[in-house]
Amino acid sequence: MYAVDFFCGAGGLTRGLLNAGVKVIFGIDYDKDCQKTYESNNRPAKFLHADLRTLDPGDLLPYIGNIPSEKMLFAACAPCQPFTKQRSIKNLHQRNLIGEFSRFVKEFNPGYVFIENVPGLARVGGFSSYRRFKKILRDLGHQFEEGILDAKEYGVPQTRRRLIFISSRINTIPIPQKINGPGLQPLVTVRDTILSLPPLNAGEVDPDIPNHYASNLEAINLERIKNTPPDGGDRRSWPASLTLECHRNGYNGHTDVYGRMWWDRPAPALTGRCDSLSNGRYGHPEQNRAISLREAARLQSFKDNYIFYGSSKNHIALQIGNAVPVKLAEVIGLQFLSNADR
């Protein structure tokens, strides 16, 4: 089976598919700063820098023209911000990226199609781009399965609920069965995943482990994390002098912000700001800092030899947080391969 990874970013989906045995030909993404990360970690897959909204389907022919369509998998993990609760007007232009992806599906009618996104994609009202996409696939003779999966139930040390859509015109590909949880293998925890990494101070870079870098903290935020109890503590333990103005007067919401992760639970869902103490429960369970970029990568199930490159530390954090967890992608790849020739 051969694959094209649309909206490939740093290559989490590609790496998982390759690990499963799927031959990924190339990934497509608008963000050129992802190219070095993608290509250096996913050889022989290539990176095609393009905006899907202006790319002509015929431009893919030199890459895939000789591959039988029934052996092709088109995978798309479009930017999810337009479908989250935090969506904003500036993201509305991205809402039809699924529609753009459908142009390529209609042109090539691959044997297999996969979509990963936030659950909110399926909740958009009316005849949404997602519902139109499903109608297109039905018209092309595809059968599909869809469901909400949690990455922690598939070997990923992170609670991350995602919409999974699996489609085929060859045969039915079922949603994969859970691997981790009650009665199954134990959930993989933060302790299992990052305990072995050397300690860091805020702002420190490990000289030997790629991307093991912890963001610096302003003096007041360093005091805040020092006053946050280890192993799941949060801002409710701070003295009044450290409380943010927006959290005064008895405000009890957003207790994850500035919080620490728990050692013996999966991590919370990582975002593109996963190295920032003020953007979620991204504090290290006991060290006085936010998690490092390498710790975030491990929590996304990237191996340590998967090295991230980018124009800034913030961009690398964005690459990591936006990636499809590698182990979840591998499970999906194995599901396609094991059912492709039934």
- The string over 57-67, giving b where at least 16 C-beta atoms fall within 10 Å of a residue's C-beta and e elsewhere, is eeebeeebeeb
* Nearest residue to 3 (alpha-carbon basis) of 302, 18, 107: 18
CA 18/CA 15 separation, integer angstroms: 5
Amino acid at 214: A
CA 217/CA 317 separation, integer angstroms: 16
Task: Name the DSSP letter for residue 325.
Answer: P
* CA–CA distances in Å: residue 329 to residues 75, 81, 309, 315, 323: 11, 20, 21, 22, 10
Q: With both helix axes pointing from N to C terminus, report the angle between 129-139 and 97-108 in degrees, rounded to the nearest 10.
A: 10
Question: What phi, psi does 9 have (nearest 5°)?
Answer: 55, -135
CA 141/CA 172 separation, integer angstroms: 11
Three-state secondary-structure class, residue 75: strand
* CA–CA distances in Å: residue 17 to residues 25, 151, 199, 336: 11, 16, 32, 10
Sign of CA dihedral 206, 274, 14, 184: positive
* Nearest residue to 200 (alpha-carbon basis) of 289, 324, 85: 289
| Helix-then-strand count for the chain, H and E | 10, 7
Active site residues: 80
CA 119/CA 305 separation, integer angstroms: 31
CA 266/CA 192 separation, integer angstroms: 9
